[in-house]
Structure 1
Amino acid sequence: MISLNLSPSLNPGLLHKTRTCQQPTRLSALLITNPKPFNHRHPLGLSPIPNLQIRDVSAKPLLSLTNPESSSGFSRKPRSIAAVGSSDSNPDEKSDLGEAEKKEKKAKTLQLGIVFGLWYFQNIVFNIFNKKALNVFPYPWLLASFQLFAGSIWMLVLWSFKLYPCPKISKPFIIALLGPALFHTIGHISACVSFSKVAVSFTHVIKSAEPVFSVIFSSLLGDSYPLAVWLSILPIVMGCSLAAVTEVSFNLGGLSGAMISNVGFVLRNIYSKRSLQSFKEIDGLNLYGCISILSLLYLFPVAIFVEGSHWVPGYHKAIASVGTPSTFYFWVLLSGVFYHLYNQSSYQALDEISPLTFSVGNTMKRVVVIISTVLVFRNPVRPLNALGSAIAICGTFLYSQATAKKKKIEVGGDKKN
C-alpha cells in the first residue's frame, strides 16, 4: 500500500504541490506491480481509479489503494487467456465430451432404427388388412376415402389437444397445396383399385417402376440426368415387364391402376417441390396431414358418384362372407389407421435421414412387403415372376445410387459457383 501522510501545519499551497508531485509515483507503481493486457477502453490496462480520495489527514492516509480484490478492478493474479481456457484443454473433460457424443449417436441410431421398424411394420399391417377388406368388400373408392378420413381425424385430434403443433394455415399455403393434394388423391385411389384386382405383391412390383416415371416427367419439365440414371431404369422396365407377363393374378385393371398410381405420386412429388418451397416452416408430418384433409375433400364426392349405389348391398355381402360384423370393422379400421401411420413414419424418417438412405429404405420396404404378403395370402409365384421382381427391385436400388451421385455433383457445382 502506498500512502502519503501530511501534517496539519502545512499550508494549502504546499499541500497542492505535494499532491501533484505524488501522482506520477502512484501511476508508476501501478504500471510496475500490476501489468495488464491492452484494453481499447483503458489504454495500458488501466481502469478508472475510484479509490483515490482525500480525507482528513489526522484520521487516515490521504492517498491509498484499497483491497486489490475490491471494486477497483485490480487483482493480485495477472489475467491469462490460457487460464480462462484451461478447462477446455482438460483431458478428463474431453473424454467426458467424447462419451456424451457417443451416447448421443447411439441414441439417435436407436431412434432411427425404431422409426424404420415402425415404418416397415405399419406398412405390412396396412397392406394385409387392406387386402383382407377388399377381398370381401371390393369397393376401393369407399375404402380409400375412409383411410383418408382416419388420417384427417388423427391429425385433428393431435392439433386440438396440442399433442403436436398446429401449422399456420394461410390462403397462399392452401392454394399451393391444391395441386399436390390432387395428385396424391389420384395416386392413392389408383393404388387401392390395383390392390382390389391383383395380388398385393404384383402391385408393389409395378409400383417399384416409379423412378421411370420420375425421370421421364422431370426431363419433360427441364431437368437433365446423367447416363447412369437412364441406364438404371432399364432393369426396372425389364423386371416389371417380366413380372407382369408371368403374373398368375394378372389383370389389366390392376396393372393400369398401379401405373396411374406411379404417375400420381411422381407428379405429387414434383409439384410439391415447385409450389411448397416458400413454406419450409411446415414440417413433413403437418404437411402430410393437410394433404390428407384436402385429398378427402377431393375423393369422397367422386367416390359417391362412382360406386355409392353399390355400398349397401356390398356391405351385406361382406358381413355374410366374414360372419361377424366386428371382424369386418376391425379390418377396415386397421387399414385406415395404419395407412396414415406408415405415411407418418415415412415422413419422420425422411426428416432424419438423407434422401438416398430414404430411397434405399423404401426399396427394401417393398421387398419386405412383397415377401410378407406372399406368405400371408399364399399367392403362387412362378420362378420367372420372382426373377422379374428381383430385377425390378435391383434396378430401383441402382437408380437411387445414380441419383444420389447426381445430387452430389450438383451440390459441388453450386459450391464452386
Structure 2
Amino acid sequence: MGSLQCLRVGGASVKSSTSLYDTNTSLILCCNTHAISFIPCPNAKTQDSILALTLTPRNRGVVAAVAEEEISVGRKLKIGVYFGTCWALGIAFNIYNKKLLNVFPYPLLSSSLSFIAGSLIMILSWATKIAGAPHTDFDFWMGLAPEAMAHGMGQVGTTVCMSKNDVSFTHVIRSAEPAFIVIFSQIFMGEKRFPLPVYMSLLPIIGGCALAAATQLNCNMIGFAGAMISNMASVMRNNLAKKTMKAKSLSGVNYYACLTILCSIFLTPFAYIVEGPEMWIQGWKTALQTASPRDLL
C-alpha cells in the first residue's frame, strides 16, 4: 500500500493522516496510489458520516482540477468584491469632495487633508496592532518617492477637475485612463504592442470622452486639463508600481499606506506655499456663510 494523503478541497486540510475528518467540509479526499476505497468518517461538528475517497493516479488529476477550479472561482469572486467596494467608495469620496469644493474651493488643501487622514488611520492601525507594520528601509522610501509624486499629482489633478466641473464629467474624462496606459506603456516603458482587440476596445472610450467634452456646455478648461494630467500621472504611477512592488514584499494595504504617507509629506508643503493659510482662513469664513462647520468637516 502507498502512503495515505489528505488533499485540500474547500476547507479541508492538506496533510497526511490516519484519522481523517474535518469540521469545516463535508468531503475529504484521501489519495492512495494503489487502491480505491470508501471510508466513512465522522464529522466532529454534526456527527454525520462523510465519505473519504482514495484516489488512483487516473482520477487524482480530476480531483486536483476540481479543487483548482473552486479556488479560482473564489479568487475571482474576491477580486470582484474588491473592485465593487473600491468603485463604491470612490463614488462616495468624490461626491463628498465635490460638496466641500463647492463651498471651499481649495483643491490642494483638500488633497493634502485626504492623504493626511489616510496616513493617520494607518499609523494608528500599526500602533494598535490592528494591521502588521511594514519593515522598510531608507532605500525603499527613496524608491517609492517618484511613484508618490505621480500619485499625488493624479489626486490633485482629479480634485482640480472636480472643483471646476461636475463629478460626472470628471469621471468621464478620467475613464480615458486605459487609452493613456496603452499609449504611454509603449512609448515610455518600451512594452510590446498590444493585440488588435485591445486597441479596438479603446475606440468607444475615446469616442465617449470626446462626445462628453464636446457636449459639456459649462466645461472649464482648467478642470479638463487637470483630469488629463491626472490620467497621465496615474499611468506613470502604475508603471512605477510594477517595478517597486516586485522589488519589495509588502502587502497591498501596507504598500498603499506607505505611498499615502509619502504623498502627504510631499503635498502638504506645496499646498501651504501655493494656497497658504491666508486663503484658507478667508475661504473658511466665506464657506461658513453657506454651510455649518459640521458639514465642512
- Shorter-chain TM-score: which interval? 0.7 to 0.9
Once the 2 structures are TM-superposed, how far is the Cα of residue 254 of structure 1 from its aligned partner?
1.0
| Equivalent residue in structure 2 for 1:273, among 242, 247, 251 | 242
- Aligned counterparts of 1:272 and 1:105: Cα–Cα separation in 2: 25
Match of 1:358 in 2: none
Q: Which structure has the highest helix share of the two?
A: 1
Paired residues for 1:215-226 under 5 Å: 215-221=182-188, 222-225=190-193, 226=195
Are 1:319 and 2:288 an aligned pair?
yes
Q: Which whole-Å deviations, capped at 9, do the CAs of 1:225-279 have from their partners, x for residues lacking one?
A: 2333233323322221111010133110111000000001100001111233211
1:133–1:328 CA contact under 8 A, matched in 2: yes
Match of 1:301 in 2: 269
Paired residues for 1:149-228 under 5 Å: 149-221=116-188, 222-225=190-193, 226-228=195-197
Paired residues for 1:212-291 under 5 Å: 212-221=179-188, 222-225=190-193, 226-279=195-248, 281-291=249-259
Which amino acid in structure 2 is aligned with residue 176 of structure 1?
G
- Aligned counterparts of 1:93 and 1:140: Cα–Cα separation in 2: 62
Which amino acid in structure 2 is aligned with residue 255 of structure 1?
F
2:39–2:51 CA contact under 8 A, matched in 1: no
2:147–2:237 CA contact under 8 A, matched in 1: yes
Paired residues for 1:50-69 under 5 Å: none
Change in 2 beyond 3 A, CA 1:109/1:244: closer
1:177–1:276 CA contact under 8 A, matched in 2: no
Q: Which whole-Å deviations, capped at 9, do the CAs of 1:48-95 have from their partners, x for residues lacking one?
A: xxxxxxxxxxxxxxxxxxxxxxxxxxxxxxxx9857x74679982249
Instruction: Specify the SS of the correspondent of 1:92.
Output: strand
1:176–1:276 CA contact under 8 A, matched in 2: no
Give the structure-1-normalised TM-score.
0.54
| Equivalent residue in structure 2 for 1:145, among 112, 121, 130 | 112
Moved more, 121-130 or 296-305: 121-130
1:186–1:264 CA contact under 8 A, matched in 2: yes
Which consecutive residues of structure 1, in runs of 5 or more, have no partner in the other structure? 1-35, 38-79, 330-417
Q: Which structure has the highest strand share of the two?
A: 2
How many percent identity over aligned positions?
39
Q: Which whole-Å deviations, capped at 9, do the CAs of 1:287-334 have from their partners, x for residues lacking one?
A: 100000000111011101111131000001111111x211221xxxxx
Instruction: Specify the SS of the correspondent of 1:135.
Output: helix
- Aligned counterparts of 2:143 and 2:158: Cα–Cα separation in 1: 24
- Aligned counterparts of 2:259 and 2:242: Cα–Cα separation in 1: 14
Which consecutive residues of structure 2, in runs of 5 or more, have no partner in the other structure? 3-31, 42-49, 55-62
Q: Which has the larger radius of gyration?
A: 1
Change in 2 beyond 3 A, CA 1:262/1:88: farther
Which amino acid in structure 2 is aligned with residue 232 of structure 1?
S
Once the 2 structures are TM-superposed, how far is the Cα of residue 117 of structure 1 from its aligned partner?
4.5
Change in 2 beyond 3 A, CA 1:266/1:112: closer
